[in-house]
Structure 1
Amino acid sequence: MHGLHIRLPKNFVLEERLERYAAAIEPNPYGWRGLWAAACRRSDAAPFREVRLDLGCGRGGFTVEAARREPDVLFIGMDSEPICIAYAAQVGCESGLSNVVFVPGSAMRITEMFAEGELACIYLNFPTPFPRKKDSGKRTVNFERLMDYRHVLAPGGQVRLRTDSQPLFDFALTQLSIAGYEPVWTSRDARADRPDDPTSEYEVKLGGKGARVCAYVATPGEEPRDPHQTAEMSLAAYIPQDLGTYDGYAPHGMEATIQNLRNRAAKTGGDWSSGVTI
């Protein structure tokens, strides 16, 4: 998830927060591979019907709200930032829900944390766009990551992306075809099309600034025999020639990229795309 600046309260001590809300944190998630649905249940309850992963859960608002709506499903919120885990665990503990847990980790090791077919759904809510070509390997929507997701998704399992970044969304659509996924639903105004879906702190904050959410739901189709990257990797390649599209709102994490293109356009008489390598 791309980071909005988190204002820490005075005297915030990360270690103390992690200890205080440890009941909602699994510090060694790799030890539960293949066991999540049964191991996380209450002692007097049946295993969870299915397991879903909120990958890049941020402060946990979406994870907890989704868990509240489906108490027979286990929701796992994962984030690589310890501060996010601390905040998410607090939300989880205060919710009183028994079907939500938070874990430290990243998409790069997802097959080490979950067994074949263990997940029913992977949510990618507002992932970091990493607009520059040299950083593109870090994107959680790349076909390499989608190929990893195939192994941990159950038959008919889904990947669900939400982003305020139109360039990242258009890039992400190219990756679905490379990895052999079939789009079930796409939208360039997801909140209008599905107003009752759970929301996250990011969506609320960015929506207040004018963001429009692009989204897809996709499921793995036939596995490609020899997948390889064919898409343009710089997100600048997916920005419309008319930069006026972004006069009201520039996607979070891409403000500097768009400003650089505006400066290029000013120097070239309006054509910023010639020879762009951002």
Structure 2
Amino acid sequence: MHGMHARLPKNFVLEERLERYSRVIEPEPARWRGRWAQGCLPWIGAREGGPSRFREVRLDLGCGKGAFAVEAARREPDVLFVAMDSEPICVAYAAQRVTESGLPNVVVVPGTGMRVREYFSPGELGRIHLNFPTPFPRKRDAHLRMACMERLMDFRDVLAEGAQVCLRTDSQPLFDFMLTQVPMAGYELVWQSRDARAERPDDPSSEYEERLGAQGARVLALSAVPGPAPEHPVQTAELSLAAYLPHDLESLEGLAYAPHGMQATVANLRNRALRRG
């Protein structure tokens, strides 16, 4: 989840929150590698006639406060949702939401997408959700992006056949950058939209998306599946997200919502255009 940090309530003590909701937090995800579907089945599944494993395991990478994972889990009780975030505060909030929901098919994991191959075995994941990942707009920080060719190549190793990577973002530059990355990593687009909420209004949402929507942001989204793996994938796209901003004055003026992390860049381009005018 990108950098709109949650406001901490008064008397919020991170360590106390993590301890209070520790029952739904898995601090050592690597120990479940290869057995998430069976090992994380709640005790109700062990009753007579109950399932022996979850139908599928899905990763919500950058889960934020956990609203998306909880709502998705509520709709599909036979699917295990692994809600992962690298921010301890987000882990605490997500664990609280999971605990209060009472849902047995969500587990919260402190971790990073850089280590998915350590956490999951080949073919173990039925889907990876990238909900509003941090765009890291500068070229020098591009290696930190979850939405890029390099991470898509990592995801190949843990996705089941036909499994999708699903991106949702408010950042038009990151979205257009990702469209260059999908074919480089040998993926095929299944769906793309520049107004995903309008096209799929019933999809699970998050607090972050609702907050952005109130500011005038549109959700851009895509789904892609791995095709034949490229033999020698090479990054050839422009890495600075500033290169993906609209450059003509008319489009720039129509861009009422500045993508997260690029407000200063957008302001500079607008001012430059005004001076030239």
| TM-score tier (shorter) | over 0.9
Alpha-carbon distance between aligned partners in 2 of 1:253 and 1:148, rounded to the nearest angstrom = 25
SS in structure 1 at match of 2:16 = helix
Structure 2 matches for 1:126-137, cutoff 5 A? 126-137=132-143
SS in structure 1 at match of 2:174 = helix
Decide which of 238, 242, 261 is 2:269's aligned counterpart: 261
Aligned to 2:213: 207
Alpha-carbon distance between aligned partners in 1 of 2:236 and 2:208, rounded to the nearest angstrom = 31
Alpha-carbon distance between aligned partners in 1 of 2:163 and 2:232, rounded to the nearest angstrom = 22
Q: Paired residues, what number?
A: 268
Alpha-carbon distance between aligned partners in 2 of 1:10 and 1:141, rounded to the nearest angstrom = 34
Structure 2 matches for 1:30-45, cutoff 5 A? 30-43=30-43, 44=46, 45=50
Structure 2 matches for 1:53-132, cutoff 5 A? 53-132=59-138
Residue 123 of structure 1 contacts residue 161 of structure 1 at CA under 8 Å; is this kept in 2?
yes
Decide which of 151, 155, 159 is 2:157's aligned counterpart: 151
Residue 129 of structure 1 contacts residue 254 of structure 1 at CA under 8 Å; is this kept in 2?
no
What is the root-mean-square deviation of aligned Cα atoms in Å?
1.1
Bigger Cα displacement from structure 2, 255-264 vs 199-208: 255-264
**TM-score w.r.t. length of structure 1:** 0.94
Alpha-carbon distance between aligned partners in 2 of 1:265 and 1:132, rounded to the nearest angstrom = 22
Alpha-carbon distance between aligned partners in 1 of 2:262 and 2:129, rounded to the nearest angstrom = 21
Decide which of 236, 260, 263 is 1:252's aligned counterpart: 260
Aligned to 1:274: none
Task: Kindly report structure 1 stretches of 4+ aligned residues shifted beyond 6 Å.
Answer: none
Which amino acid counterpart does residue 136 of structure 1 have in structure 2?
A
**TM-score w.r.t. length of structure 2:** 0.94
SS in structure 2 at match of 1:141 = coil
Aligned to 1:218: 224
Residue 253 of structure 2 contacts residue 270 of structure 2 at CA under 8 Å; is this kept in 1?
no
Alpha-carbon offset, residue 253 of structure 1: 2.1
Alpha-carbon offset, residue 266 of structure 1: 4.5
Alpha-carbon distance between aligned partners in 2 of 1:160 and 1:12, rounded to the nearest angstrom = 33
Q: Which runs of 5+ in 1 are unaligned?
A: 271-278
Alpha-carbon distance between aligned partners in 1 of 2:269 and 2:138, rounded to the nearest angstrom = 13
Residues 51-99 of structure 1: CA distance to partner in whole angstroms, max 9, x if unpaired? 0000000000000000000000000000000000000000000000000
Alpha-carbon offset, residue 262 of structure 1: 2.8
Alpha-carbon distance between aligned partners in 1 of 2:142 and 2:271, rounded to the nearest angstrom = 23
Q: Which runs of 5+ in 2 are unaligned?
A: none
Which amino acid counterpart does residue 123 of structure 1 have in structure 2?
H
Alpha-carbon offset, residue 258 of structure 1: 1.3
Alpha-carbon distance between aligned partners in 1 of 2:17 and 2:213, rounded to the nearest angstrom = 29
Alpha-carbon distance between aligned partners in 2 of 1:33 and 1:262, rounded to the nearest angstrom = 49
Alpha-carbon distance between aligned partners in 1 of 2:260 and 2:77, rounded to the nearest angstrom = 33
Alpha-carbon offset, residue 3 of structure 1: 1.9
Alpha-carbon distance between aligned partners in 2 of 1:98 and 1:257, rounded to the nearest angstrom = 44
Bigger Cα displacement from structure 2, 43-52 vs 228-237: 43-52
Alpha-carbon distance between aligned partners in 1 of 2:121 and 2:265, rounded to the nearest angstrom = 38
What is the percentage of aligned positions where both structures have the same residue? 68
SS in structure 2 at match of 1:53 = strand
